[in-house]
Structure 1
Protein backbone atom coordinates (compact mmCIF):
# COMPACT_ATOMS: atom_id res chain seq x y z
CA UNK A 1 0.00 0.00 0.00
CA UNK A 2 1.45 3.35 -1.07
CA UNK A 3 0.58 6.60 0.66
CA UNK A 4 1.64 9.81 -1.05
CA UNK A 5 3.95 12.11 0.87
CA UNK A 6 2.61 15.42 2.13
CA UNK A 7 4.39 17.38 -0.62
CA UNK A 8 3.22 15.03 -3.39
CA UNK A 9 -0.17 16.69 -3.99
CA UNK A 10 -3.48 15.36 -2.71
CA UNK A 11 -3.30 12.81 0.04
CA UNK A 12 -4.27 9.55 -1.58
CA UNK A 13 -4.00 5.94 -0.56
CA UNK A 14 -4.14 3.37 -3.35
CA UNK A 15 -6.60 1.18 -1.44
CA UNK A 16 -8.57 3.75 0.55
CA UNK A 17 -8.72 6.65 -1.89
CA UNK A 18 -8.95 10.23 -0.63
CA UNK A 19 -7.58 10.64 2.90
CA UNK A 20 -8.89 14.18 3.36
CA UNK A 21 -12.36 14.04 4.86
CA UNK A 22 -15.12 15.82 2.91
CA UNK A 23 -16.01 18.15 5.79
CA UNK A 24 -12.50 19.61 5.70
CA UNK A 25 -13.07 20.61 2.06
CA UNK A 26 -16.01 22.79 3.15
CA UNK A 27 -14.29 23.95 6.38
CA UNK A 28 -16.89 22.06 8.38
CA UNK A 29 -19.79 23.98 6.84
CA UNK A 30 -22.89 21.95 6.06
CA UNK A 31 -25.17 24.67 4.72
CA UNK A 32 -24.61 26.50 1.47
CA UNK A 33 -25.27 30.25 1.40
CA UNK A 34 -27.22 29.85 -1.85
CA UNK A 35 -30.29 27.60 -2.18
CA UNK A 36 -29.23 24.82 -4.54
CA UNK A 37 -31.31 21.85 -5.58
CA UNK A 38 -29.62 18.68 -6.86
CA UNK A 39 -31.05 19.49 -10.28
CA UNK A 40 -30.06 23.17 -10.21
CA UNK A 41 -27.82 24.11 -13.12
CA UNK A 42 -24.56 25.96 -12.45
CA UNK A 43 -22.26 27.54 -15.01
CA UNK A 44 -19.06 29.56 -14.93
CA UNK A 45 -19.46 33.27 -15.57
CA UNK A 46 -15.88 33.83 -16.70
CA UNK A 47 -15.12 35.98 -13.65
CA UNK A 48 -12.02 35.00 -11.70
CA UNK A 49 -12.63 34.52 -7.97
CA UNK A 50 -10.60 36.85 -5.78
CA UNK A 51 -8.32 35.16 -3.32
CA UNK A 52 -7.56 31.48 -2.96
CA UNK A 53 -10.50 29.18 -2.31
CA UNK A 54 -8.94 25.73 -2.64
CA UNK A 55 -8.18 22.99 -5.15
CA UNK A 56 -11.72 21.59 -4.99
CA UNK A 57 -13.11 25.02 -5.88
CA UNK A 58 -10.76 25.10 -8.87
CA UNK A 59 -11.93 21.64 -9.95
CA UNK A 60 -15.58 22.66 -9.58
CA UNK A 61 -15.04 25.84 -11.58
CA UNK A 62 -13.30 23.92 -14.36
CA UNK A 63 -16.14 21.40 -14.43
CA UNK A 64 -18.74 24.17 -14.72
CA UNK A 65 -17.45 25.71 -17.96
CA UNK A 66 -20.70 24.47 -19.46
CA UNK A 67 -23.99 24.07 -17.64
CA UNK A 68 -23.93 21.16 -15.21
CA UNK A 69 -26.33 20.05 -12.50
CA UNK A 70 -25.32 20.03 -8.85
CA UNK A 71 -25.76 16.23 -8.82
CA UNK A 72 -23.42 15.85 -11.82
CA UNK A 73 -20.85 18.12 -10.20
CA UNK A 74 -20.94 16.06 -7.00
CA UNK A 75 -20.46 12.85 -8.97
CA UNK A 76 -17.51 14.23 -10.96
CA UNK A 77 -15.89 15.74 -7.88
CA UNK A 78 -16.50 12.50 -5.93
CA UNK A 79 -17.82 14.50 -2.99
CA UNK A 80 -21.08 14.29 -1.05
CA UNK A 81 -23.83 16.52 -2.44
CA UNK A 82 -23.93 18.75 0.64
CA UNK A 83 -20.18 19.44 0.40
CA UNK A 84 -20.53 20.13 -3.33
CA UNK A 85 -23.38 22.56 -2.63
CA UNK A 86 -21.17 24.47 -0.19
CA UNK A 87 -18.31 24.65 -2.72
CA UNK A 88 -20.61 25.77 -5.51
CA UNK A 89 -22.31 28.37 -3.30
CA UNK A 90 -18.86 29.79 -2.46
CA UNK A 91 -18.26 30.22 -6.19
CA UNK A 92 -21.71 31.78 -6.71
CA UNK A 93 -21.05 34.19 -3.82
CA UNK A 94 -17.80 35.41 -5.42
CA UNK A 95 -19.42 35.80 -8.85
CA UNK A 96 -17.55 32.96 -10.56
CA UNK A 97 -20.69 30.84 -11.07
CA UNK A 98 -24.27 31.55 -11.93
CA UNK A 99 -27.16 29.27 -11.01
CA UNK A 100 -30.50 28.45 -12.54
CA UNK A 101 -33.28 26.56 -10.79
CA UNK A 102 -34.65 23.53 -12.59
CA UNK A 103 -37.72 24.14 -14.68
CA UNK A 104 -40.33 21.45 -14.69
CA UNK A 105 -42.62 21.29 -17.66
CA UNK A 106 -44.38 18.46 -15.89
CA UNK A 107 -45.50 18.10 -12.33
CA UNK A 108 -42.48 16.39 -10.65
CA UNK A 109 -44.84 14.37 -8.45
CA UNK A 110 -46.99 13.23 -11.40
CA UNK A 111 -47.62 9.52 -10.92
CA UNK A 112 -47.20 8.69 -14.62
CA UNK A 113 -43.84 10.47 -14.73
CA UNK A 114 -42.61 8.71 -11.59
CA UNK A 115 -43.74 5.32 -12.95
CA UNK A 116 -41.90 5.98 -16.22
CA UNK A 117 -38.72 6.79 -14.30
CA UNK A 118 -39.13 3.65 -12.19
CA UNK A 119 -39.65 1.52 -15.30
CA UNK A 120 -36.50 3.00 -16.87
CA UNK A 121 -34.48 2.26 -13.73
CA UNK A 122 -35.76 -1.32 -13.59
CA UNK A 123 -34.70 -1.85 -17.23
CA UNK A 124 -31.17 -0.69 -16.33
CA UNK A 125 -30.84 -3.27 -13.56
Structure 2
Protein backbone atom coordinates (compact mmCIF):
# COMPACT_ATOMS: atom_id res chain seq x y z
CA UNK A 1 0.00 0.00 0.00
CA UNK A 2 2.80 2.41 0.87
CA UNK A 3 5.05 3.36 -2.04
CA UNK A 4 7.79 4.97 0.02
CA UNK A 5 11.13 3.15 -0.34
CA UNK A 6 12.72 3.62 3.08
CA UNK A 7 13.79 1.28 5.82
CA UNK A 8 10.80 0.52 8.07
CA UNK A 9 12.36 1.80 11.29
CA UNK A 10 13.14 5.20 9.77
CA UNK A 11 9.38 5.73 9.83
CA UNK A 12 9.52 5.69 13.66
CA UNK A 13 12.75 7.62 14.08
CA UNK A 14 14.53 4.36 14.88
CA UNK A 15 12.24 3.60 17.81
CA UNK A 16 11.18 -0.01 18.27
CA UNK A 17 9.06 0.55 21.38
CA UNK A 18 6.67 3.15 22.67
CA UNK A 19 5.22 4.11 26.03
CA UNK A 20 1.90 2.54 25.03
CA UNK A 21 1.91 -1.21 24.45
CA UNK A 22 -0.64 -2.52 21.94
CA UNK A 23 -1.38 -6.23 21.69
CA UNK A 24 -1.53 -7.67 18.18
CA UNK A 25 -5.26 -8.32 18.54
CA UNK A 26 -6.07 -4.78 19.71
CA UNK A 27 -8.65 -3.15 17.45
CA UNK A 28 -8.09 0.42 16.27
CA UNK A 29 -10.29 2.82 14.34
CA UNK A 30 -9.79 6.29 12.93
CA UNK A 31 -11.62 9.05 14.73
CA UNK A 32 -12.85 12.43 13.49
CA UNK A 33 -9.71 14.25 14.65
CA UNK A 34 -7.57 12.33 12.13
CA UNK A 35 -9.37 14.07 9.27
CA UNK A 36 -8.98 17.51 10.83
CA UNK A 37 -5.26 16.98 11.53
CA UNK A 38 -4.46 15.52 8.10
CA UNK A 39 -2.09 18.34 7.20
CA UNK A 40 0.04 17.87 10.31
CA UNK A 41 0.16 14.07 10.15
CA UNK A 42 2.94 12.04 8.56
CA UNK A 43 2.37 10.08 5.37
CA UNK A 44 2.23 6.86 7.41
CA UNK A 45 -0.38 8.34 9.76
CA UNK A 46 -2.55 9.36 6.80
CA UNK A 47 -2.29 5.88 5.26
CA UNK A 48 -3.21 4.24 8.57
CA UNK A 49 -6.06 6.72 9.08
CA UNK A 50 -7.53 5.82 5.69
CA UNK A 51 -7.16 2.10 6.39
CA UNK A 52 -8.68 2.26 9.86
CA UNK A 53 -11.89 3.96 8.87
CA UNK A 54 -13.10 0.41 9.37
CA UNK A 55 -11.92 -1.48 12.47
CA UNK A 56 -8.61 -3.31 12.08
CA UNK A 57 -6.40 -5.17 14.50
CA UNK A 58 -2.79 -4.11 14.98
CA UNK A 59 -1.73 -7.31 13.17
CA UNK A 60 -4.03 -6.54 10.22
CA UNK A 61 -2.60 -3.05 9.87
CA UNK A 62 0.94 -4.46 9.84
CA UNK A 63 0.05 -7.13 7.29
CA UNK A 64 -1.83 -4.73 5.01
CA UNK A 65 0.98 -2.16 5.04
CA UNK A 66 3.65 -4.87 4.81
CA UNK A 67 5.52 -3.35 7.72
CA UNK A 68 7.07 -5.08 10.74
CA UNK A 69 4.72 -5.41 13.69
CA UNK A 70 7.05 -3.36 15.92
CA UNK A 71 6.97 -0.43 13.50
CA UNK A 72 3.18 -0.49 13.30
CA UNK A 73 2.86 -0.71 17.08
CA UNK A 74 4.99 2.44 17.45
CA UNK A 75 3.08 4.30 14.72
CA UNK A 76 -0.29 3.35 16.23
CA UNK A 77 0.86 4.25 19.75
CA UNK A 78 1.98 7.65 18.45
CA UNK A 79 -1.38 8.10 16.74
CA UNK A 80 -3.17 7.13 19.94
CA UNK A 81 -1.10 9.65 21.92
CA UNK A 82 -2.07 12.30 19.35
CA UNK A 83 -5.75 11.26 19.62
CA UNK A 84 -5.88 10.36 15.90
CA UNK A 85 -7.22 6.84 16.49
CA UNK A 86 -9.45 5.08 18.96
CA UNK A 87 -7.98 2.02 20.66
CA UNK A 88 -10.60 -0.55 21.53
CA UNK A 89 -9.00 -2.55 24.31
CA UNK A 90 -10.62 -5.81 25.22
CA UNK A 91 -9.71 -8.34 27.85
CA UNK A 92 -7.91 -11.00 25.79
CA UNK A 93 -7.48 -13.51 28.61
CA UNK A 94 -9.90 -15.10 31.03
CA UNK A 95 -9.47 -15.26 34.81
CA UNK A 96 -7.20 -18.33 34.43
CA UNK A 97 -4.82 -16.60 32.02
CA UNK A 98 -6.12 -18.41 28.93
CA UNK A 99 -7.16 -16.61 25.73
CA UNK A 100 -10.78 -15.50 25.95
CA UNK A 101 -13.40 -17.36 23.96
CA UNK A 102 -14.25 -14.15 22.11
CA UNK A 103 -10.63 -13.70 21.03
CA UNK A 104 -10.36 -17.31 19.88
CA UNK A 105 -13.58 -16.97 17.85
CA UNK A 106 -12.23 -13.80 16.16
CA UNK A 107 -8.95 -15.55 15.35
CA UNK A 108 -10.82 -18.54 13.90
CA UNK A 109 -13.06 -16.28 11.83
CA UNK A 110 -9.99 -14.41 10.54
CA UNK A 111 -8.27 -17.66 9.58
CA UNK A 112 -11.36 -18.84 7.71
CA UNK A 113 -11.38 -15.62 5.68
CA UNK A 114 -7.80 -16.18 4.45
- Structure 1 or 2: more helix by fraction: 2
Taking the aligned partners of 2:45 and 2:66, their CA distance within structure 1 comes to 13
Unaligned runs of 5+ in 2: none
Residue 96 (structure 1) aligned to one of 81, 84, 98:
84
Aligned length: 98
User: TM-score, normalising length from structure 1?
Assistant: 0.66
Taking the aligned partners of 2:22 and 2:37, their CA distance within structure 1 comes to 20
User: TM-score, normalising length from structure 2?
Assistant: 0.72
Taking the aligned partners of 1:60 and 1:98, their CA distance within structure 2 comes to 12
Unaligned runs of 5+ in 1: 1-9, 12-18
Higher relative contact order (CA 8 A, sep 6+): 2
Give the superposed CA RMSD: 2.7
Instruction: Write the deviation string for residues 100-120 of structure 1: whole angstroms up to 9, x where unpaired.
Output: 22344863189xx7xxx7xxx
- Tell me if the contact between 2:17 and 2:74 (Cα under 8 Å) persists in the aligned partners: yes
> Match of 2:9?
23
Taking the aligned partners of 1:109 and 1:41, their CA distance within structure 2 comes to 15
> Match of 1:74?
62
Task: Report the alpha carbon displacement of residue 51 of structure 1 after superposing the two structures with TM.
Answer: 5.8
